[in-house]
Amino acid sequence: MDSKDRQIIKALQENGRLTNQDLAEKVNLSPSPCLRRTRALEESGVIKGYTAIVDEKAYGLPITVLVRIRLESHAGAVVNLFEKKVCETEQILDCYVISGTDDYLLRVLVEDLQGYETFVRVKLHAIPGIASIDTSFAYGILKQSSVFPRLL
């Protein structure tokens, strides 16, 4: 991947609905090479897909919850079951494996506090092997971006 590929990626991260003509102009390429590069990025899996970025509040999910999970054990069966259940749970938008005293950080969207309580009681408590659940509620977003930084 070269700097031109990164320019294409940045432009598409900023606006995934650019036409090939507009993208080519933005990255200073002619349309044919631009399209070839974009298709190569898609086919190689660098560009995984395209999506709409939706306002959580307008959609009806105004509460963002950050949930830190510590497992009782790191035995393969416990970890595999937890990770399988996380992937099956639609309220969990992101799950990071983290270092430190906790094992995972989840980003969860819910409609209200009752929705979060239901999520914990019905979804999280049903997963065996969880030692602790530590919750933080995001009461604001200072920065949220889907555009990667430049390489230093």
Note down the domain range covering 31.
3-43
Q: What's the mean pLDDT when you consider all of the chain?
A: 97
One domain for residues 79 and 130: yes
Total tally of structural domains belonging to the chain: 2
**CATH number reported for the structural domain that contains residue 127 in this entry:** 3.30.70.920
Side chain identity, residue 44: S
Residues 75 and 18 in one domain: no
List phi, psi (to 5°) of 122: -90, -40
Mean pLDDT of 121-131: 97
Taking the C-alpha atoms of residue 105 and residue 89, their distance in angstroms, rounded to an integer, is 14
pLDDT digits (tens, 9 = 90+) for 48-88: 999 999 999 999 999 999 999 999 999 999 999 999 999 99
Residues 61 and 18 in one domain: no
The answer to whether 106 and 64 have CB atoms below 8 angstroms apart is no
Quote the pTM value.
0.89
Q: Looking at the structure, tell me whether residues 36 and 98 fall in a common domain.
A: no
**Shared-domain flag, residues 80 and 106:** yes
Q: How confident is the model at residue 152 (pLDDT cuts 50, 70, 90)?
A: confident
Q: What pLDDT sits at residue 52?
A: 93
